[in-house]
Amino acid sequence: MLVKFRSRDTAEIVMFGDIALELIRLMGHGGTVPGAIAAEDVPAALEKLEAGLARHAQAHPADTAGGEDEEGQPRVGIGQRAFPLVDMLKRAVRKKSYVMWDK
């Protein structure tokens, strides 16, 4: 499954479902698709997401250390995967805009 994130002032972001659902949960939502965050709730969702990513980085330092996985592929941690969504949320905060997602 793919999940598409949208906001009025940014380009659409498409993520694989497992990563997207984890990020949605870190924002404080139940992990349902479709879903949305009202403009007034975006700052709190951004704060929760950044705090959750920081906790994840402390609990799983190998995810942020770079290097290669067991198949010799470059390791991409959840913080790197979350970067476009974090940017979208920051822009939504500045523009007082919503963020929504669907399949």
pLDDT digits (tens, 9 = 90+) for 4-33: 999 998 999 999 999 999 999 999 998 899
Amino acid at 43: P
Q: What is the pTM of this model?
A: 0.86
Q: Which residue has the higher pLDDT, 103 or 72?
A: 103
Give, for 99, the enclosing helix (H) or strand (E).
strand 99-102
Angle at CA of residue 85, ends 45 and 83, nearest 5°: 115
Q: What percent of the chain shows pLDDT beyond 70?
A: 90
Judged by DSSP in three states, 73 sits in coil
Residue spans of the domains in the chain: they are 2-102
d(CA 95, CA 93) in angstroms, rounded, equals: 6
d(CA 83, CA 89) in angstroms, rounded, equals: 10
* Short-list 39, 8, 41, CA closest to 27: 41
Instruction: Using the predicted structure, report yes or no on whether residue 70 has a pLDDT greater than 80.
Output: no
Give the confidence band of 63 by pLDDT, cuts at 50, 70, 90: low
